[in-house]
Chain A
Amino acid sequence: MFKLLRKDAILNGKVLALTYALWSAFWLGYPVLRPGGDASFTAWAVMVALPCAFLPILMIAREDKFKAGALACSLPVTRDAIASSRYVGGWLVALVGAAIAVGAMAIMSAAGMTELAPPTFWLPVAVVVTIGLVVASLLPFTLRFGMSGVLVFLVSAQLAGIVALLVAAMFGGLGGLGTTIRSAVKAVAWMRDALGPAAFSVAAVVAVLFLNLASYRLSVWIYRRREF
């Protein structure tokens, strides 16, 4: 596992550093250039965590670009180890990206350079949940089908959304769909209130980790079937 992580660090170190730098400039510049917005620090952190969660895909896509997946699978490592290194490495690059941006923004906020609302207890939970949902959803497709798998997944998700809207409009009106979404949000809010912030946070993080575990199992299963 460590050797695979080291390999990915060597292969992607420069690209990741460049990406972190460019993205940080954009993310940090956004609230400075648009002062007076009503965005909270937590909402801003979620906005940052979302693209960071796609960084693991960048790493896998780069390996596919050079057709070097066959090289990795020709080394004396198991497919399970490769899949697990993708998850561990993926989480690391996403969390590091989010941590760099959030840390820099915290410094800027403290220095009075932005008008973001101060960070709350929910910030780390929101970041972890955001990254966890994206990683768990996309990595199995990426490992099996490469970048095209991600595109197929995203396009399929969009098409599914369009179909859901059409069906809702035809049979129950869009209000029905809105009611469903609002009900789901209310259910989450009810759980938060019932459990209390601390227990709810732990439950959310544990749920995301279990989702990632299930995603990892699926990835191992399908990656073992990938042929080079």
Chain B
Amino acid sequence: MTGLDVENVLEFTGVSKIYEAFALRDVSFSVPPGYIVGLVGPNGAGKTTLMRLAMGLAAAEGGVVRVFGRDPRQAEAAVRARIGFVHDTPAFYDYLSVERVAAIVASFYAAWDASLFHHLLAEFGVPRRARVWSLSHGTRTKFALALALSHHAELLLLDEPTTGLDPVFRDHLLDRLSETIADSRTSVLFSTQIMGDLERVADFIVLIRGGRLMFSGAKDDILDHWAVVRAGAELSAELAAASPRGMATTRRGVEALLDDIASARRRFGDRAVVEKATLEDVFLLCREPQAAPTRYGRETSGLEPGSSARRED
């Protein structure tokens, strides 16, 4: 079975995971084939936990995790052979050289492409003979990215890969991710706190906060249809009644996030500033969990890569 034989390459359905100080509760979203899904949330939101669940490094206590249609804890080797993974703090055997670590990792992948790996090392500026302990955090991440991209993975799970990278390389990496999914068989789940990265490359956005799903849907849908209403405090009650996705009190009054800009302009346009929402606005304001998860991907809309997705609800 290839990644394209299943509707979504990665699916979380009602997933829960409870730790002493943190709990992930009832999280549902999916990653369709050939798309980049941006996973966003503040520190401690549960992004890394979701990545670990997808990799089978941790077990869900409730709900279902499916990668290529299979349970990553049961079909661990088969599933991970098709995944390229970058941990938020990449751990290697520090006393070995970059080349030696790569030789170890390469032996586990039938589809390992040595020439691509060496090309990526050169492109990313990772010294081949350097000991891993001597690499900076950014260079370690670049090394981890080169490893993840060198076995033609069908799903890339990248846990905050752009953190600690210089802006020039970040830009370069985002271009490469866009190129990677151009074959329509590779998908990317990419966690970050840098909204600019998501605006550039993500097709879908998943926002989690405090272990709960706040929103999942198409990026273009947000940018085209969502609105931020900035008004005086006297409109606070009326905005609250308009089923906002989030509200915040500011020094000048209130800000509300609404998911229908046309309706927002009709209702509040003459009394407040109504602007198209940015992803930054969504990140800052969206604090109400989504009533029902947005469905997207092949099962609902037969999306073609690059097209704008439509929400069902």
User: Footprint of B on A, CB under 8 Å?
Assistant: 3, 6-7, 10-11, 63, 66-68, 70-71, 73-79, 81, 224-225, 227-228
Contacts and interface: CB of A to CB of B under 8 A. Distances in A.
How many B residues are at the interface, by size bracket? 20 to 34
A138 B79 CA distance: 31
A3 B93 CA distance: 16
B91 A6 contact: no
Contacts of A78: 76-77
B160 to A, nearest CB: 15
Contacts, number: 64
Interface string B75-100: 01111110001010001111110001
Interface stretch (B103-111, B117-125, B243-251, B280-288): B103-111
B108 A77 contact: yes
B77 A76 contact: yes
Given A76-B77, A76-B109, A70 B96 contact: no
B100 A10 contact: yes
B58 interface: yes
B100 A228 contact: no
Contact of A66 (B78, B80, B81, B91): B91
A150 to B, nearest CB: 21
Contact of A76 (B52, B57, B80, B96): B80
Nearest to B79: A76
Given A7-B104, A228-B57, A77 B77 contact: yes
B107 A68 contact: no
25 contacts: A6-B104, A7-B104, A7-B107, A10-B103, A10-B104, A11-B93, A66-B95, A70-B87, A74-B57, A74-B80, A74-B87, A75-B80, A75-B105, A76-B78, A76-B79, A76-B80, A76-B109, A77-B76, A77-B77, A79-B76, A225-B59, A227-B52, A227-B58, A228-B57, A228-B58
Given A68-B91, A78-B76, A78-B77, A73 B57 contact: yes
